């Protein structure tokens, strides 16, 4: 199992909508992620800031990359650009910054 972590920035006025959109996520998108080995996926908001922290476990980078082959993923990513900071205007996906693991304990 590969652990992945990343952070994003939510637009402060869109935190409520971002949270609502994730509870629950579309069933089709959830099924695609599970089908391609994504497990134990969580997103956290750091109170008082715009920082969002994401964590997931994946079976392989190759399977993880296949999620991008699905229209439902692209539709979701585009929808989330309304709530999150993007690299540039009109970006197809919000800006996600990968994080490096410093410590892990089972």
**Long-range contacts of the stretch 25-31 (C-beta < 8 A, 24+):** 25/76, 26/72, 26/76, 28/72, 29/70, 29/72, 29/73, 29/76
Selecting among 22, 36, 39, 74, the annotated active-site residue is: 22
Question: Is 22 considered catalytic here?
Answer: yes
Q: Which residues are catalytic?
A: 22
């Amino acid at each position: 199992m590969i652990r992945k972590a990343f952070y994003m920035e939510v637009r402060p006025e869109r935190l409520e909508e971002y949270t609502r959109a994730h509870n629950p996520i579309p069933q089709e998108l959830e099924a695609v992620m599970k089908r391609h080995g994504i497990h134990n996926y969580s997103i956290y908001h750091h109170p008082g800031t715009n920082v969002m922290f994401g964590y997931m476990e994946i079976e392989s980078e190759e399977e993880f990359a296949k999620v991008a082959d699905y229209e439902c993923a692209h539709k979701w990513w585009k929808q989330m650009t309304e709530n999150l900071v993007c690299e540039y205007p009109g970006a197809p996906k919000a800006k996600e910054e990968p994080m490096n693991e410093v410590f892990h304990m089972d």
